[in-house]
Structure 1
């Protein structure tokens, strides 16, 4: 299992989801994508849950570390 980190805070909002989906698609089964974001990625969680079969929604976690820092882990089945 490996962990890929992606900090999207400096990426324009319209470009974030495509970049995240691309990074997630490159993962192997059992790997996870650690996302660093400036807001809680709740809409992305629901999008991934509905559209990405390999997303392990039960293993998803998110931690609020500061006013503009959320760390979310998106595991891949």
Structure 2
């Protein structure tokens, strides 16, 4: 069964200083089994590491597209 998509955030449209905080808020509001899709202009690997520190083991991270111009990532909240 596909995981329900919560929303898609195009981080390219958001000020860099506000990007990570927005993702952390959205993730905190998600229910287990829901997915957040991010679109970015660079690899959001730092975001993945920060999310792991904040929410260890509580999410999966799947690259849907990996550059060089656009990166898309699906972040699913685990139970």
TM-score (norm 1): 0.84
What aligned pairs does 1:1-77 form with structure 2 within 5 A after superposition?
Answer: 1-3=3-5, 4-53=7-56, 55-56=58-59, 59-62=60-63, 63-67=65-69, 69-77=70-78
How many residues get paired?
A: 74
Moved over 2 A (4+): none
Deviation at residue 66 of structure 1 after TM alignment: 4.7
Q: Deviations over 1:13-57 (max 9, x none)?
A: 00001111111111111111110111110000001111114632x
Q: Distance in 2 between matches of 1:54 and 1:23?
A: 17
Q: Distance in 1 between matches of 2:49 and 2:67?
A: 21
Structure 1: give runs of 5+ residues left out of the alignment. Answer: none
Structure 2: give runs of 5+ residues left out of the alignment. Answer: none
Q: How large is the Cα RMSD of the aligned pairs?
A: 1.6
Task: Go from structure 1 to structure 2 and tell me whether the alpha carbon gap of 1:72 and 1:42 turns closer, same or farther (over 3 Å shift).
Answer: same
